[in-house]
Amino acid sequence: MGRKRRDWPMTEKQKRIYENLWHQVEKLFNYRNHDQGFRGTERYREGLRAFCKYLAIHYGSKNFRNISDQHLQSFIGASQRAGVSTKTIKTDLAAIRKLHMKVDRTRYKLSDNQGIGYHEKRSSRGVDRAWRDSEVRNAIALARSSGRYDVAWSLGIARYGGLRIEEATALSKTQIRDALRKGYITLRVTKGGIPRDVPLAAPVRMIFREILEVPNSSERVFVRHGRTHHQAFKSIQNWIYNNREHFQERVILDSGYAGQMKIDERPDLTYHGLRHSYAREQYELRVEAGFTQREARQEVAALLGHGRDDVTRIYTKT
């Protein structure tokens, strides 16, 4: 994890500077008042902890008003040398920019990733991460047969509603009742802080009704006594990891050489791949209805809860 890899040693003086910076972070995001889009996002917190530590060690910075592109570039370099993944660094930068927006009278404007010379690898556009419908059906059937209704419900909610795993496992019965009444589910605290309304497809309605029919006094659907929200979605991810060999289809492909065959090179299925399936289906429905490709992507972006066209292209493979 990024936290362990960036466990840089600090002197006592640097520790005091770090603690001051982290105190500013907590004050700016006001966790007690449930700062939208940030509270509970542990990955953002970890990134900002590492950034505060780096500023304390290498710059002796005591506030965030003087943060510049130079600080970001230097932090990226140190993180890369520590072996931190591209995905984690991208999340770190998003957290830092969100923090910077909340600081009064900042001295510099922060550039985007391209502006600071940080180019993400986008080779994933050519990788098909979407689940096939038969794989979804088989996985849900397997989960139900083993008594893992939480897994079955969450798989269906992601495939037919496009919810992220942390959004699905945070659902409450009150939200579900409200969604069934209105015909759409309102997600307010989401990754990136972008609230959105997601129309309820028929399979999601069926799942929601089943959830409400199960005798359970708890208001939370996936979180119960003795299990935290983080443990709830990690348990689902682990189930997919441990069981996907039973439902992921490996197709034999002709390699083009006489007598030589190979298995397709699709990556292992993950929960996030269900959002790819949902996005692709929603995109195709809109194109068939007469939308332009760009209009279709814009609507899908809103359903997914982000505004970047390049990301939507990865989901929809367009």
* 151/60 Cα distance (integer angstroms): 47
Give the model's pLDDT for residue 126: 58
Task: Read off the pLDDT band of 2 (50, 70, 90).
Answer: very low
Q: Is the confidence at residue 183, as pLDDT, over 70?
A: yes
Give the model's pLDDT for residue 22: 92
How are the residues of the chain apportioned to helix, strand and coil, as percentages rounded to the nearest 5?
Answer: 60, 5, 35
Segment 186-217, tens digit of pLDDT? 997 677 667 889 999 999 999 999 999 998 77
Kindly provide the b/e burial profile for residues 114-142, where b requires at least 16 CB atoms within 10 angstroms of the residue's own CB: eebebeeeeeeeeeebbbbeebbebbbeb
The predicted model gives 4-17 an average pLDDT of 87
Picking from 13, 108, 32, the residue whose alpha carbon sits closest to that of residue 70 is 108
The predicted model gives 176-182 an average pLDDT of 96
Segment 25-66, tens digit of pLDDT? 888 876 444 444 444 467 788 889 999 999 999 988 888 888
Segment 234-274, tens digit of pLDDT? 999 999 999 999 999 876 555 554 455 555 667 889 999 99
Q: Tokens representing 318?
A: 């367009």
Task: Read off the pLDDT band of 313 (50, 70, 90).
Answer: confident
